[in-house]
Amino acid sequence: MVIQKVINNNVISAYDENQQEVVIMGKGIGFKAHTGDAIDESRVEKVFRIENEKLSRQFQEILENIPLEHMQLTSDIITYAKKNLNVQLNQSIYITLTDHINFAIQRQVQGIQLKNALLWEIKKFYHQEYLMGKYAINLLNEKLGTKFSEDEAGFIALHFVNAEYDTTINDTFAMTNMIQGILELVKQEMGIEFDEESLHYERFVTHLKFLAQRLYRHELLKDEEIEFAKLMENKYPGEYECSKHIAEYIEKEYGGQISGEEIMFLAPALYVVYAALYGIFTVITVLVGFRAGFCFSAGATDLLFSASLPAAKNTWMIIPLGIAAFIVFYVVFRFAITKFDLKTPGREDDDVEAEKKVDLGSSDYTTVAATILEGVGGAANVTSIDNCITRLRLEVKDSSLVDEKKIKSAGAAGVIRPSKTAVQVVVGTKVQFVADEFKKLCK
């Protein structure tokens, strides 16, 4: 095979022997390579065959700016899930999950934490997919040193649910809420408690999954199935009456609600201040002759064991250095926070506080979307609208018009700027509802 396109140093595209486009991944496989060059087979680590041309293009675009290690880990996770779920997954999983995991890593570095409002339901209704999510976070934590929690396992599980049932994020959220609502209704109507470990409960939940799937695909019952329903009405009137109430519930609560996520204010600029001060005090410890196997930033245990070493010198200096560091760090941090109005957890902008803040726990997605739209400079400034499982992904013409304070006043957990024109708003599990309203407002 020959190279058709160099995506980055570690990813290229080519055509196989059947003239089908493939994406090939390998360390350094694209380095100093050009279109038409023969592929160095020794560098090939992964080959992706995505039949849908549009999906293949999207996959290549995403891979342009993603580290090789993130790609490899995501591929390993998908391979593991395919083997253990034993189901057909939509090829879009390579795009959605790769993008999600790469962003989740960035999100953790920046301190943005999201609570998964559907975690309990995901564990109960999509247990196998949740186990795949657990495998994913364990692998990521082991290989990358991240500290992902079970909330992230739930988010990853939803990607597998979407790929398995070939549904949108919006449908998956609504279907999950619907199933939970039906179970609660049955418990109240029939006066029963479910044995969640029983085979009957598992079968009932499985039936509800397919019921929800049919409803969102608008697949109606056939006439003979309606006749069977009439038979059930005569034989089991109590149960049938309950099923009628379920139908009423579905009609009334179509696209049910989810609880909100926590909002966190970030101060990444303070880390720059910290790094600078740490460097200064490191130099000072060297200049004053302090030597104990570390600089000024260590604990009592380190000092106790290091002070007895033959090379240790002037270890008593740790006390005045520590006091000086405390004073300097406090004064500089306080000055930086107040002077430049840096955001730390629990602190809000006065102007944002004064604004009418939109509650993402409500169902007024139009208002939320309108606030975000105003924050990105209006519809005329938006060139592209997309979303993943937690983020509203936008492209804008003029980035100077983007007002992050305004966007956060809508209840967003954070705003990410991956490129000059790209704006990603961290909304959480309600992102599809917000995205739908956002698109309507931009028409």
pLDDT, tens only, 31-78: 888 888 888 888 887 777 777 677 677 777 777 778 888 888 998 999
Residue 382, φ and ψ in degrees, nearest 5: -95, 125
pLDDT at 219 (0 to 100): 59
pLDDT at 138 (0 to 100): 95
pLDDT score of 357 more than 50: no
Which residues are within 8 A (CB) of 229 and not within 5 positions of it... i.e. 6 or more apart?
Answer: 221, 240
Contact criterion met (CB below 8 Å) for 24 and 11 = yes
Closest by CA to 99, choosing from 174, 155, 164, 151, is 155
Residue 53, φ and ψ in degrees, nearest 5: -65, -40
Contact criterion met (CB below 8 Å) for 212 and 175 = yes
Strands (E), 104-166: none
Percentage of residues in the chain having pLDDT higher than 70: 73
Domain ranges of the chain: 1-55, 169-252, 269-339, 350-442
pLDDT at 116 (0 to 100): 82
In angstroms, the Cα distances linking 268 to 271, 273, 333, 342 are 6, 9, 12, 9
Q: What value does the CA radius of gyration of the chain take, rounded to a whole number of Å?
A: 27
Q: What is the largest CA-CA distance in the chain?
A: 93
How many C-beta atoms surround the C-beta of residue 429 within 10 A?
26
Mean pLDDT of the residues in the chain: 75
Which single residue is written with the structure tokens 């957990």?
413
Contact criterion met (CB below 8 Å) for 336 and 342 = yes
What CATH number was assigned to the domain covering residues 350-442? 3.30.1360.60
DSSP annotation of 41 reads G
Average pLDDT over residues 391-415: 88
**Coil, helix or strand at residue 127:** helix
**pTM attached to this predicted model:** 0.51
pLDDT, tens only, 279-314: 787 788 778 877 665 544 455 555 665 666 666 677
Contact criterion met (CB below 8 Å) for 172 and 154 = no
Strands (E), 286-330: none
Q: Which CATH number fits domain 1-55: 3.20.20.70, 1.10.760.10, 2.30.24.10, 3.40.50.10490?
A: 2.30.24.10
pLDDT, tens only, 309-352: 666 677 777 788 888 888 988 888 788 777 766 555 445 444 44
C-alpha span between 250 and 262 (Å, rounded): 28
pLDDT at 269 (0 to 100): 53
Class of residue 126 by CB neighbours under 10 A (exposed 0-12, middle 13-18, buried 19+): buried
- Torsion sign across C-alpha atoms 431, 436, 437, 442: positive
Superfamily (CATH H level) for 169-252? PRD domain (1.10.1790.10)
Closest by CA to 84, choosing from 46, 40, 131, 44, is 131
Which H or E element spans position 299? none
DSSP annotation of 198 reads S
Contact criterion met (CB below 8 Å) for 130 and 95 = no
Token pair of 419 as six digits: 């490129």
pLDDT, tens only, 159-179: 898 888 776 666 777 777 778
Token pair of 378 as six digits: 């209006």
Q: Which residues are catalytic?
A: 388
C-alpha span between 184 and 194 (Å, rounded): 10
Residue 9, φ and ψ in degrees, nearest 5: -60, -25
